[in-house]
Amino acid sequence: MPDTFAFAQDIASVAKIDAVPIILSMVKHVTGMRFAAVARVTDRRWVVCAVDDSIDFGLQPGGELVLESTICHEIRQKRQPVLFTHASEHPVYSLHHTPKTYQLESYASIPIVKANGEFFGTLCAIDTVPAHFDENAVLKTLTLFAQLIAMQLDLQQDLERSESALADATEAGRLREQFIAVLGHDLRTPLSAIRMSADLLETRLDDKRERSLASAIRKSSQRMGALIEDVLDFARGKLGGGIPVRRTMVDDLQSVFNSVVAEICASEPDTQIHQNMVIPSGIYCDPARIGQLLSNLLGNAVKHGTREFPIEVTTHMDGGEFVLSVTNQGVCIPEASMPLLFEPFKRSEAGSREEGLGLGLYIAAQIMNGHRGTLSVSSSIEQGTCFVARFPARLE
């Protein structure tokens, strides 16, 4: 079929979303049904992209059902969810051909609609026995999950487009970056809803494994939020105005740094961070951005450093300048790579345990630019890799 390649791409896109297996497991949990799937639904075909099957329904990614035999065909036309717990006693679905064809008693299906209004498919759950759930609560939860899948698909698509567009002409790049900024802004609201939903699920679940699944969704949404903020900062920096910096006199920068270090230690419990900080009062800076600077440098050190040696964080005054340094042991950065470190979308090809968008050091350098300061790096086998940020500490 001519659209076979497009369906293969859609299946691959869903497979790239790490949260999908967790979402399908949570769908089964909140509905009590034993089959959950993400389906791609067009005007001609119904194709499963991901599945969690405990009833041996017989579908695997790439498997198909006859479109007209499914309720998803009607959902695509009306763009409204369908839920029922006992088909044989339902005034409408007791007579519907789909429950009869597949011997279904319980069913839930939520539209997955992308940001541009395109109907991608459905997040659905089925079972051959009646289910017992609060339809209103399940509708809200599954709708949040469907929004998360749609948002991830949009984010994947737009990040791929953004990276490929980096080689385009300046004006084309400017339009791309404006689009990223708008996209990132519009993603914040549903992402906040997903975080709150995951938090609520985590507090209400008693089973340890189920709580860990909810926790994984929450942590994934937090990582997604960080990625969105990086993309927004990248767009701001490239649109000509630079990353916004609001400098004020700060008397307790130490507490900002302590919070950042505590957050890194909580997320990376096997990482050691040694601190030697001397921070006077009255530092003229943007505390949130300086905290972000330290977070990015520590994140980089965690990714590329060895866990056998602690990360060293030091601060001191050098004349009228405030100096922050972050040092880690590990892979030595080649001299030829040094000029590229602070460029966007540049990532290390060796020694990294986790690759992001490659924006952390770029954003850190832009924060220093906003403070009329500098960010430099040195790296050797003997001394390790050391990033040094310095900027004027007093009002100029």
Span 187-206, pLDDT tens digits: 666 677 777 777 777 777 77
| Residues 298 and 335 placed together within one structural domain of the fold | yes
In this structure, are 173 and 279 located in the same domain? no
Q: Are residues 132 and 262 in the same domain?
A: no
Task: Assess whether 181 and 210 both reside in one domain.
Answer: yes
Q: Are residues 264 and 286 in the same domain?
A: yes
Determine, yes or no, domain membership for 49: yes
Residue 301 in this model has a pLDDT that exceeds 80? yes
Together in a domain, 267 and 228: no
Cα–Cα nearest to 299, from 246, 359, 342: 359
Question: What per-residue confidence (pLDDT) applies to 11?
Answer: 94
pLDDT grade, residue 341 (50/70/90)? Answer: confident
Written as one letter, the residue type at 115 is: A
User: Are residue 263 and residue 189 in the same domain, yes or no?
Assistant: no
Domain endpoint, select from 238, 272, 289: 238
Residue 41 within any structural domain of the chain: yes
- Residue 107 within any structural domain of the chain: yes
φ, ψ of residue 283 to 5 degrees: the values are -85, 125
Which CATH number characterizes residue 379's domain?
3.30.565.10
Task: Clarify whether residues 74 and 144 are in a common domain.
Answer: yes
pLDDT tens-digit series, residues 75-123: 999 999 999 999 999 999 999 999 999 999 999 999 999 989 999 999 9
> Both 278 and 172 in a single domain?
no
281, part of any domain: yes
What CATH code is carried by the domain that includes residue 116?
3.30.450.40
Least confident of 37-51, 165-179, 298-312: 165-179
In a domain, 243, yes or no: no
Decide if pLDDT at 182 tops 80. Answer: no
254 in the same domain as 218: no
> What is the tens place of the pLDDT at every residue in 271-295?
899 999 889 899 999 998 999 999 8
Exposure letters 280-300 (e unless 16+ CB within 10 A, then b): eeebbbbbebbbbbbbbbbbb
Give the structural domain span for 273. Answer: 248-392
Which string of b and e fits 57-89 if b means at least 16 CB within 10 Å?
Answer: bebebeeebebeebbbbebbeeeebbbbbbbee
Instruction: Confirm whether 65 is domain-assigned.
Output: yes
383 and 254 in a common domain? yes
271 shares a domain with 158: no
The model's pTM is: 0.48
pLDDT(224) > 60: yes
Structure tokens at 336: 């030829």
Q: In the listed set 181, 209, 238, which residue is the last one of a domain according to the structure?
A: 238
Q: In this structure, what is the dihedral angle of CA atoms 91, 93, 96, 100, given to the nearest 10 degrees? A: -120
Domain finish residue from 190, 212, 238? 238
Number of domains comprising the chain? 2
